[in-house]
Amino acid sequence: MGCAEGEFQPTDGFATFQSSVLPQLQDEQDYKIWNGLILKTEDGRQIRCVDVTLHLVEFGDNGTEAFVDALGVSEPSYETLFPQHVEAYENQFKA
């Protein structure tokens, strides 16, 4: 089981999502989060996670940054999804 974070690249349907699913209330208007989401691979397979959170941070004239946290990735295995990260992690312990 592992965790992953990465850049969120919205599809055309994201505007519909934003208008129909309200983010959790935050103290800062420029920072929006959505919890309890479903994460899928590019080919449409679901990645089982304990939780998936989408972060959307607006920097005014400097644009917007969006990223996803996937916590407790269990299936497909972390090793299957991110083999290069697992290899790099294991290599740091080799003498």
Length of the chain counted residue by residue:
95
Tokens of 54: 């989408």
Structural domains of the chain, count: 1
| Per-residue model confidence (pLDDT) at position 4 | 87
Higher-pLDDT residue of 84 and 29 is: 84
What secondary structure does DSSP assign to 26-62, as a single string?
A: -SSTTEEEE-S--EE-TTSPEEB-SEEEEEEEE-GGG
| Per-residue model confidence (pLDDT) at position 85 | 86
Give the tens place of pLDDT for each residue, 1-44. Answer: 788 899 998 888 888 998 899 898 778 888 999 999 998 888 88
Residue type at 52 in one-letter notation: V
Give the tens place of pLDDT for each residue, 45-81. Answer: 999 999 999 999 988 888 889 999 999 998 888 888 8
Whether 68 and 54 have beta carbons less than 8 Å apart is answered as: yes
| Per-residue model confidence (pLDDT) at position 71 | 92
| Per-residue model confidence (pLDDT) at position 62 | 86
Whether 36 and 52 have beta carbons less than 8 Å apart is answered as: yes
**What is the domain extent for residue 49?**
2-91
Whether 49 and 72 have beta carbons less than 8 Å apart is answered as: yes
